[in-house]
Structure 1
């Protein structure tokens, strides 16, 4: 098994990483002390343990309750700026070269900030992080995705907010987030139509806990350009008990054949009950069948994880070669909501380190087909 340190030294991209799910515990403690907020633990280590253990419940609803504490520490402009800056710093330290920080501005207004002020504060933090990374010789591409909460009724307002800031504050896309059960993506069609009319990117949380119908609506009715999680697409895949052959239903085949990127977050899915172990996670089947899989953390604090750890877990569980994991990393880069020329340069820059790592892994031999096992 290639360990976490091995993957930390290789360039990666994160598409699905919630800003409010990756705070440093010490940062939370310092902000909470300043604003008089009571956290569930007093030390950084104990707080990190509390988040992981509370979220590790097998229930998305229980998992989401932990965000009451993180968002409480992200209500002032300075705190949003600090969290965004540290988000970049932590990604760079993990060997990530580009990423989209997603968050829901509507959840950060309790201290008097307006929606626009909140977006501007996060943009300032992301810029500070990028400037520091460039000065250290480790350039990083940061963007923000604005989420609307799918159980609320502000999605059109948040879509309008995203469009206002698309050219000034690193806002690259839109998303709907929150509990999927009972909150279908079609509740937010007006927002998606507005974004389409204005040629703007968006992804949709779908297929995390909801039924196949939620995925179908996200893709065929709402026009999702990427799918947040998407792992429940396996509900439309069966396996012949006699031959072992996989049989794809029409929707699964469409998602696979259109190569709609899936933002898969293995450790998070284990915490919310998608699978009981990493070896039983649908990602192995999805990779094998040629779906456009990208690998992500979802929430680094809540999942006690890093992107390098996710690569190591998947590598060990499914026996993937370095070249197979390279394809996943490059799929993430190719799916970024950024300018095509910038994306192309990034893919080119990422390719050589992964190829060289694969050559070293195989002792310099001839590289087989990427999916040859």
Structure 2
């Protein structure tokens, strides 16, 4: 008899690894309200009741309106403009992830979006790093170990990618483990930022690129073959290069290259459904990509806007595809192998934390 799929409460106890999580997409609603009060932003919020505000964020993200979806970030970024606010948000992020059973997380943010009240780019990065350290320490005191790596994001529609890339390298020994570009794909190809990517390669530094979420195969091709991305942020549209045949599947040259080279896909199921990249969790391409053994990882993207967590994302997949502990371990090990920290650290987390815990769960 087939074993029942793991429940969300069971999954919460299992170690998880998160590679794609936006700091400004994961705030606690109560924190937004409190920080808004401190900076005089309260009147601009849709609600000052934490439960109502939390529901508003999810509903706005589900609305199908890009304008309303982007408005949600206006509110979170607005309260992340002071050193105190940024530090608190980062600390709570680490605590929340650790409480959900995440043992390693890479959390990304765009420093250029947090300078409206006078903070310099370097000050923004330093205070976020201090917040992650504080939150990780608090989590450890509560019995939850987590290691947080930071990714600095440049906005693809702006012209500051080289500046942010240099900033990432400057803080590489302080906790910044990689670089990313985000923002609208259509009309803003990653090749506009080639100088930044070439600089990062010369500095032996890791980077991921948002590609293949709203835009298709050309975006993925450029990110990999022109820019040299180590990983793909989302990358879900790689399925456009996979065709069903009477005998199985025909994998196109780009998809085959991606699979052969084990280039990780930072898939975010709930977020993809919200933005229309997938019709539902059950129809999400992650099922096919898992079966074809691409380097698939599971991620949250924006926990506040999707009303989600790593445990919830895995529970949704387990329910939709019948995944058991072996599958969830596979996703987790994939992510840990793909992290931007050193090989020894990755191996230690896999062998000393992840595999022993899943061995007990698999039984």
Decide: shared fold, TM above 0.5.
yes
2:88 to 68, 79, 82: 82
| Secondary structure at the counterpart of residue 204 of structure 2 | coil
Aligned residue in 2 for 1:56? 62
Aligned residue in 2 for 1:12? 16
Structure 1 segment 1-373 matched on structure 2, within 5 A: 1-37=5-41, 38-58=44-64, 62-168=68-174, 170-240=175-245, 242-243=246-247, 245-348=248-351, 349-359=353-363
> Could you list the per-position Cα deviations for residues 308-360 of structure 1 after superposition, in whole angstroms to 9, with x for gaps in the alignment?
0000001111111210111101111111111211111001121011122112x
Shift of 1:58: 3.7
In structure 2, distance between residues paired with 1:93 and 1:123: 19
What stretches of structure 1 of length at least 5 have no aligned partner?
Answer: 360-373
Residue 152 of structure 2 contacts residue 176 of structure 2 at CA under 8 Å; is this kept in 1? yes
In structure 2, distance between residues paired with 1:278 and 1:319: 12
Normalising by the residue count of structure 2, what TM-score does the alignment of the two structures yield? Answer: 0.96
Residue 59 of structure 1 contacts residue 273 of structure 1 at CA under 8 Å; is this kept in 2? no
Shift of 1:62: 4.5
> Could you list the per-position Cα deviations for residues 220-260 of structure 1 after superposition, in whole angstroms to 9, with x for gaps in the alignment?
110010100010000101101x33x1111000000011111
| Secondary structure at the counterpart of residue 172 of structure 1 | strand
What stretches of structure 2 of length at least 5 have no aligned partner?
Answer: none
Residue 60 of structure 2 contacts residue 72 of structure 2 at CA under 8 Å; is this kept in 1? yes
Normalising by the residue count of structure 1, what TM-score does the alignment of the two structures yield? Answer: 0.93
CA RMSD in angstroms, aligned pairs only: 1.1
In structure 2, distance between residues paired with 1:355 and 1:293: 21
Residue 61 of structure 1 contacts residue 179 of structure 1 at CA under 8 Å; is this kept in 2? no
Number of aligned residue pairs: give it: 356
In structure 1, distance between residues paired with 2:342 and 2:137: 19
